[in-house]
Structure 1
Amino acid sequence: MTGSATAVPSASVPPGHQAGPLDDARAQLAAAIEHLGLDAGTHAMLATPRREMTVSIPLRRDDGSSEVLIGHRVQHNFSRGPAKGGLRFSAAVDLDEVRALAMWMTWKCALVDVPYGGAKGGVTVDPRAYSQFELERITRRYTSEILPMIGPEQDIPAPDIGTNEQTMAWMMDTYSVSVGHTVPGVVTGKPISLGGSLGRAAATSRGVAHTTLLALEHRGHMAERSTAAVQGFGKVGRDAARLLADAGVRVQAISDVDGAIWNSSGIDVSELAAHVDATGSVHGFSGGEPIDGSELLELEVDALVPAAIEGVITAENAPRVKAGIVVEGANGPTTEAADAVLADRDILVVPDILANAGGVIVSYFEWVQANQAYWWREHEVNERLTERMTDAWRNVLDYSHAHEMSLRESATCLAVARVTEAHRLRGLYP
């Protein structure tokens, strides 16, 4: 190896440091670099974000008081195309989390072969504590602060935790006003009436459900005789549970931030969705027994779908996971230490950069449609999504068998190799 290894951000966790998503992301990259035999200079380039911006967001509250929030936007890589990644509003947002998510987006885009690099944004705020008018002001001020970084050929945000299509509408309008004309391609995940794509709202969930069914088939399970538990009933978990149930899988447990429910005969996902729409939570649903949220991760089901937040499967609870398959609907739900435990127990983990890539695939479709001003029918979007997800699954599975690696290691190696090839072909300027 050549170059200075000191320039590479450390993949090890120093004593006393609580490991977080960025540590896991760096460790995954380091393992791929070693497997691929890449040099230290390439490692440093891939480990380091290309651009970062941290901004203050002054907010006038509805009661006339004011406060200042903090927002971030990180562009990890754009060698294969414009940066792409979601915007989340969460009280847990910090810069290292955004860096990790941006890195994972780079690998995700490369793995499913869409012409993007990775980015991510976040505002440290609990959106439930703010009115709709306040959320609009937060979104518009954040957008105006990061304006130099974004654009349809630079960086294209999308919804994530705590944001939605309305957030994207505000972002698009703020950007469009600043440049003097409407630019639908500056964000994806927009309302259909503003140039959003049919099929985008459920795209991540559809990809998660499809890879779950592929993983079940790979392990010799028929969908109609399989069981599943889904952690999270939001953007990803809700439709993933519905699509799995539609495919014949018995979804025995579902949770959200307020609680969890279990029914050995299977939960009626449509009835649960109506209950959540009416009450705001799965809590109190009559079609299932209440259980502790952490208990859901340890139920004896064929497939476990963590579709909420990162870091929920840890070294502490991984020995108690009984599912034979874990499909990562969320970003980074399994820690590095837990990964090793699950691998030793022959639990198949479908990594996030594969399992939840449906969202960025259809975001790419939306961006293409916006640039062409020509919109596809929903069945066309869904068919193209399924084709891309199936191809990515097969590529990762074949690499895993050929190199005797886990699906996560295989997916990361394939993605890192593609990004590295783009760097090599473009060269280093100047």
Structure 2
Amino acid sequence: MKRKNSPSGFLSNVNLMVDEALSVMKLDKGVEEAIKSCNSIIQVKFPVQIRGKIQIFTGWRAVHSTHRLPAKGGIRYAPEVDQDEVEALAALMTYKCAIVDVPFGGSKGGLMINPLEYTREELQRITRRFAMELARKGFLSPAKNVPAPDMGTGQREMAWIADTYKHLYPEDINYLAAVTGKPIHHGGIRGRVEATGRGVQYALREFFRHKGEVKKAKLTQSLEGKKV
């Protein structure tokens, strides 16, 4: 579902950019639709007792493509997140992975919540319940679907999710691979926190090395003399 007050057109804008790229590729229409279509999406609603009262939380996990497994993509916590946004972000994950040729499909998750309004203990219970819902429905697994940090989440939430998966499936010796972006002491890797920023830096650096492409984009700026 798409809420009335959500940022309109995110998924439409993503598809518009894809259509522009597809227009020069001359692919069969069926292939084009297969590239753009979201493979599956789940919406979950679950109760958690907060300060003596039951609150219902709504979350989503979209799998845009399973052409390679596992599907990969973050989980964000934000009060305005909705299905349209999650589907759009999952599609972008597919395209990003394909462009740099890493062996993952695209996925994304979101929980409609303002994490600043909850204590650490409350967020842990909410996160673990969300992880349980996703895992039991096949949307969390080292072999099929691997979340990561995103807006509103970080190493802490990933550690909770990995631990929840371990308790649900103790026979899976690869349980730590259920998520990436974990703390180093919980099986994470050094450099993960700054990896996204470095990726942006490297992508911009390579882009500005191609003068023709910069000109096509009608840009005159470069990274020369700037700090990232």
TM-score for the superposition, normalised by structure 2: 0.85
Counterparts of 1:29-428 in structure 2 under 5 Å? Answer: 29-61=18-50, 63-147=51-135, 148-181=138-171, 183-215=175-207, 343=217, 346-347=218-219
Distance 1:349 1:111 in 2: 24
Q: Give the CA RMSD over aligned residues.
A: 2.2
Q: What displacement does 1:134 show?
A: 1.1
How far is the alpha carbon of 1:215 from its aligned partner?
4.5
User: 1:202, 1:47 → 2: CA distance?
Assistant: 30
Q: Residues 32 and 349 of structure 1: is their aligned pair in 2 closer, same or farther, counting only changes over 3 Å? A: farther
Alignment gaps of 5+ in structure 1: 1-17, 220-324, 326-341, 351-430
Instruction: Please report how far the alpha carbon of residue 23 of structure 1 lies from its aligned counterpart in structure 2 after TM superposition.
Output: 0.8
What is the CA–CA distance in structure 2 between the aligned matches of 1:217 and 1:103, rounded to whole Å? 27
Q: Does the 8 A contact of 2:63 with 2:106 survive in 1?
A: yes
Gaps of 5+ in 2: 1-6, 223-228
- Summarize the Cα distance change of 1:213–1:47 in structure 2 as closer, same or farther, 3 Å threshold: closer
State the alpha-carbon separation in 2 of the partners of residues 100 and 190 from structure 1: 25
- The superposition leaves residues 269-326 of structure 1 with CA deviations (integer Å, 9 ceiling, x where unpaired) of xxxxxxxxxxxxxxxxxxxxxxxxxxxxxxxxxxxxxxxxxxxxxxxxxxxxxxxx8x
State the one-letter code of the partner of 2:187: G
Contact conserved, 2:69 with 2:145, CA < 8 A, in 1? no
Q: Is 1:50–1:76's contact at 8 Å kept on the other side of the alignment?
A: yes
Q: CA deviation at 1:138?
A: 1.2
Identity of aligned residues (%): 39
Q: CA deviation at 1:45?
A: 1.6
Distance 2:93 2:82 in 1: 17
Task: Select which of 5, 16, 31 maps to 1:27.
Answer: 16
The CA deviation at 1:119 is 0.1
SS for the counterpart of 2:191 is coil
Runs of 4 or more off by more than 2 Å in structure 1?
209-219, 347-350
Structure showing greater radius of gyration is: 1
- State the distance in 1 between where 2:111 and 2:34 align: 26
Q: TM-score, normalised by structure 1?
A: 0.46
